[in-house]
């Protein structure tokens, strides 16, 4: 074990003593589940089912949702294997609760202390661990290697910032990466950085390109259309703090002219603050969670609910993807809109989705702006030229369909590492 990894383990072992108090503070801020926060310490009331078990981990909403097609495929092809998925956020837990196949167990991921990781692994005893993107925790990985549990990193995204950070701890990172049985990079840049760290990646594949269109409730769609009437609709999806006001300011002329902005915050718990900010601009706001009606006086519809993105993508005339108009967020998945035949407008920061946006932008299936001035101009132009949006919508749908074979590639690479199927022995006379 490297010196830096040894120091890390000692520090995290000491940190475990104050972890319960820190988690309780996070509960008060709505960052942890009040009834389940001890799962973060490796403690659980859930029983481990009998038989082989595969553990998936995706830290947040995007990563965890990207595993769903793979989890569904495994549930169908290998019903003998039990599936556990862990996440680190309450939002992802709420969404997964509605979308996971029957029988799949969700837990909050253990914090990376020796005590929490040991308790978690002692209880669940996974036969295979599958991590998504770049959520690399040294104690978890070291423990899996020590227990000879094969572990895999899928859709690995290694940014330049991540790579430079790893370079400072080469002695620790190289054995951790070498412990993976398989690593599949999500793009060429990540693949090259892995090679520079001494890794031989498997086939390249991005899990976030897999997936069916988001669900749309027909009744909810019909009801919302009646509320909106003939208003032109802009939809700001998965916005982060202050993006809501930024986008609303860029749209002020259109909103005062009778158009409607729907805002779906990435974290609906922020709804109260968002409403205050928007009303400070003089805008009239209706809030979905409070069943407030949309009238001809409404400027902004605050969609502070979960699991309804498909509904708002479908009803919108123009879509803006949040997480891209601020720094150090990296944007969100434009394919969720593209699968429903909708193009998107993005801000300058698309670092989390650079490969997918490159395909969309090359095909004129998305629009990218550098700042708020350019955003206001583009919105005005697209409002006046609906045929441009219609063409871009068609191209976005085409791009989304090009990734149809990703699931087959990932499944073929993953299957050899699954627990062996039980052999049925016929009874003799």
Token pair for 421: 């199927």
Name residue, tokens 């947040």.
Answer: 60
Buried residues in 201-236 as b, exposed as e (16+ CB within 10 A): bbebbbbbbbbebbebeeeebeebeeebeebebbbb
CA distance linking residue 153 with residue 325, whole number of Å: 29
**Half-sphere CA count of 96, side-chain side, radius 13 A:** 32
Listed in order, the ranges of the chain carrying CATH 3.40.50.2000 are 218-401
Specify the pairing of strand 233-239 against strand 260-265: parallel
Domain at 3-210: CATH code: 3.40.50.11720
User: What confidence score (pLDDT) does residue 10 get?
Assistant: 95
Listed in order, the ranges of the chain carrying CATH 3.40.50.11720 are 3-210
CA distance linking residue 179 with residue 172, whole number of Å: 11
User: What confidence score (pLDDT) does residue 272 get?
Assistant: 96
DSSP class of residue 293 equals P
State whether the Cα torsion 35-37-41-46 is positive or negative. positive
Which CATH architecture describes the domain 218-401?
3-Layer(aba) Sandwich (3.40)
Mean pLDDT of 398-402: 88
Using DSSP, state whether 159 is helix, strand or coil: coil
User: What confidence score (pLDDT) does residue 236 get?
Assistant: 98
User: What confidence score (pLDDT) does residue 4 get?
Assistant: 84
Mean pLDDT of 219-245: 96
Mean pLDDT of the chain: 93
Total-model pTM: 0.72
Residue among 314, 316, 327 nearest 379 (CA): 316
Beta strands in 303-421 (DSSP E): 318-321, 344-346, 366-368
CB 81 within 8 A of CB 418: yes
Task: Say which range, 48-52, 58-62, 91-95, 345-349, has the weakest mean pLDDT.
Answer: 58-62
H or E segment and range at residue 173: helix 170-178
Quick check: 334 pLDDT over 90? Answer: yes
User: What confidence score (pLDDT) does residue 429 get?
Assistant: 46
Specify the pairing of strand 105-108 against strand 82-87: parallel
Q: How confident is the model at residue 169 (pLDDT cuts 50, 70, 90)?
A: confident
């Amino acid at each position: 074990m490297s010196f830096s990894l040894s120091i890390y383990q000692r520090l995290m072992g000491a940190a475990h003593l104050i972890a319960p108090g820190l988690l309780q503070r996070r509960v008060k801020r709505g960052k942890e589940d009040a009834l389940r926060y001890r799962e973060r310490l490796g403690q659980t009331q859930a029983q481990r089912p009998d038989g082989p078990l595969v553990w998936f981990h995706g830290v947040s909403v995007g990563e965890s949702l990207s595993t769903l097609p793979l989890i569904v495929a495994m549930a169908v092809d290998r019903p003998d294997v039990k599936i556990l998925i862990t996440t680190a956020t309450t939002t992802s837990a709420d969404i997964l609760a509605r979308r996971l196949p029957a029988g799949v167990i969700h837990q909050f991921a253990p914090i990376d202390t020796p005590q929490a990781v040991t308790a978690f692994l002692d209880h669940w005893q996974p036969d295979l661990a599958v991590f998504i993107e770049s959520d690399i925790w040294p104690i978890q990985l070291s423990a899996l290697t020590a227990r000879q549990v094969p572990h895999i990193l899928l859709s690995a995204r290694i940014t330049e910032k991540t790579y430079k950070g790893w370079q400072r701890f080469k002695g620790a990172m190289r054995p951790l990466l070498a412990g993976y049985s398989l690593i599949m990079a999500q793009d060429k840049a990540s693949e090259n950085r892995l090679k520079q760290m001494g890794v031989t990646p498997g086939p390249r594949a991005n899990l976030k390109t897999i997936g069916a269109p988001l669900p749309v409730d027909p009744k909810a769609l019909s009801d919302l259309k009646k509320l909106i009437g003939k208003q032109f609709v802009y939809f700001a999806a998965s916005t982060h703090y202050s993006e809501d006001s930024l986008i609303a300011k860029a749209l002020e002329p259109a909103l005062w002219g009778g158009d409607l902005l729907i805002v779906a915050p990435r974290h609906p718990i922020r709804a109260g603050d968002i409403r205050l900010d928007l009303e400070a601009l003089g805008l009239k706001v209706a809030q979905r969670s409070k069943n407030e009606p949309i009238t001809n006086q409404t400027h902004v519809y605050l969609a502070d609910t979960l699991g309804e993105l498909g509904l708002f993508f479908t009803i919108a005339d123009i879509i803006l993807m949040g997480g891209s108009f601020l720094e150090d967020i990296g944007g969100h998945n434009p394919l969720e809109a593209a699968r429903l035949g909708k193009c998107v407008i993005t801000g300058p920061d698309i670092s989390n989705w650079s490969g997918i946006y490159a395909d969309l932008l090359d095909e004129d299936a998305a629009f990218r702006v550098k700042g708020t001035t350019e955003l206001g101009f583009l919105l005005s132009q697209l409002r006046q030229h609906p045929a441009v949006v219609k063409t871009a919508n068609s191209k976005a749908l085409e791009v989304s369909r090009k990734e149809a074979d990703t699931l087959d590639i990932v499944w073929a690479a993953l299957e050899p590492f699954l627990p062996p199927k039980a052999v049925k022995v016929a009874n003799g006379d």
